[in-house]
């Protein structure tokens, strides 16, 4: 697969992951103070979200493949690795905080005695993941568009091609 397609897939999967992550981030202020019964009701909107794993797998694989493909180009490689580390960070948060809370609550079908602690961990881990996904998207865009900035910098402020230096060459007579 070519680098262009890896770039497209990396940005696409990361943008799709932002949909899920952004939803969690934006709903946080409205859900964090809900009563137990209201919280259980609202949590049911996430039924079927396990299919988001397909997006996450695509995101990790495409960014890792892109990092490998551009490893010789430091300008593109560094932000791509930053994006990969951010996405791996989202997985660390999920498996350390979200997954255990999902298991302890039977995917938010029941509430144990420490449910408020679990809720805080679950909500804030998802919020942190959203910020990491945003950072990954920004890093990928920097890798994608930043490599073009060198070419763009060659144009002057009026959008014309840059002045080229004329070189004198000696001619044999």
pLDDT in tens, 134-167: 999 999 999 999 755 554 444 444 455 555 666 7
- Bigger pLDDT: 100 or 152? 100
pLDDT band of 5, cuts 50, 70, 90: very high
Give the single-character DSSP code of 156.
-
The pLDDT of residue 163:
58
pLDDT in tens, 51-92: 999 999 999 999 999 999 999 999 999 999 999 999 999 999
- What gap in Å lies between CA 135 and CA 171, rounded to an integer? 56
The pLDDT of residue 154:
45
49: its two tokens: 């979200």
Sign of CA dihedral 3, 8, 13, 15: positive
Side-chain-facing half-sphere of 143: CA atoms under 13 Å: 30
**What is the pTM for the complete model shown?**
0.82
In the chain, % of residues over pLDDT 90: 80
Q: Comparing C-alpha atoms, which of 67, 91, 49, 72 is closest to residue 139?
A: 67
Which ranges of the chain would DSSP assign to H, the alpha helix?
3-31, 36-43, 52-69, 74-93, 99-104, 115-153
The pLDDT of residue 160:
52
Give the single-character DSSP code of 111.
-
The pLDDT of residue 155:
43
């Amino acid at each position: 697969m070519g680098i262009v397609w890896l770039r497209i897939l990396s940005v696409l999967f990361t943008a799709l992951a932002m949909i899920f992550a952004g939803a969690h981030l934006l709903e946080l202020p409205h859900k964090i103070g809900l009563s137990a019964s209201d919280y259980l009701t609202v949590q049911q909107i996430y039924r079927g979200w396990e299919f988001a794993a397909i997006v996450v797998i695509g995101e990790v694989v495409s960014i890792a493949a892109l990092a490998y493909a551009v490893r010789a180009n430091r300008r593109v490689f560094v932000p791509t690795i930053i994006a990969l580390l951010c996405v791996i960070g989202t997985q660390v948060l999920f498996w350390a905080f979200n997954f255990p809370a999902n298991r302890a609550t039977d995917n938010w079908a029941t509430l144990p005695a420490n449910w408020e602690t679990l809720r805080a961990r679950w909500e804030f881990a998802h919020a942190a993941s959203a910020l990491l996904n945003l950072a990954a998207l920004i890093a990928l865009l920097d890798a994608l568009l930043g490599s073009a900035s060198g070419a763009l910098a060659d144009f002057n402020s009026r959008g014309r091609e840059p002045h080229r230096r004329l070189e004198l060459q000696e001619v044999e007579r």
